[in-house]
Structure 1
């Protein structure tokens, strides 16, 4: 079971990433772009994810993943039940979301520094 602390630690370590609270919700940003956000009760993690792959992710594991609300369907975004994820899976989702919002050279540098994956 993944915890908020698993994600929080990683989000704070990723280059250009920083933590903010917006209306009581914990979010991680690169610049002004949010790539991970938590529900108010911190049980659901929203994260950047390619729109074209959303249906397969949610359809393949509906107990873990959900589509965002109707107003957020236009964004590259998916929700996950944090307790349904294992820590390694949560870290991978966070790093992949971060990769979507940073320059490719940062993502490549991260991959070189972490050849065995996130975390």
Structure 2
């Protein structure tokens, strides 16, 4: 079972990433782009995910992942209950979401310094 603490430090350590609180919710940004956000009660993690792949992700594990509200489907978001994720999986989702919003050279540099994935 993952918790917000499993990914809080990672979101702050990723290059160009920084935490912000918006209306009491923790979010991680690169510049002004939010790539991970948590629900107020910290039970749901929302993260950037490729639109063309999210239906398959949700269909494959509907107990774990869900689509955002209909009004938010235009954005690259998927929701996951933190209790359904293990800590390693939660960190991998954060890194993958971060990769979507940073330049490729930044993501490649991360890969060189973290060959085994997020710690």
TM-score, normalization by structure 2 = 0.99
Structure 1 partner of 2:56: 56
Q: Deviations over 1:32-60 (max 9, x none)?
A: 00000001111000000000000110000
The alpha carbon displacement at 1:106 in A equals 0.4
Alignment of 1:1-119 (within 5 A): 1-119=1-119
Aligned residues: 119
Q: 1:87 offset after TM fit, Å?
A: 0.6
Q: Any gaps of 5 or more consecutive residues in structure 1?
A: none
CA RMSD of aligned residues (A): 0.5
Q: Which runs of 4+ in 1 moved over 3 A?
A: none
Unmatched runs of 5 consecutive residues or more in structure 2: none
| Structure 1 length-normalised TM | 0.99
- In 2, the alpha carbon distance for the partners of 1:23 and 1:117 equals 32
SS of match in other structure, 2:63: coil
Structure 1 residue 8 displacement after superposition: 0.4
**Cα deviations across residues 82-114 of structure 1 (Å, max 9, x unaligned)?**
010001100000000000000000000000101
Secondary structure of the residue aligned to 1:83 is: helix
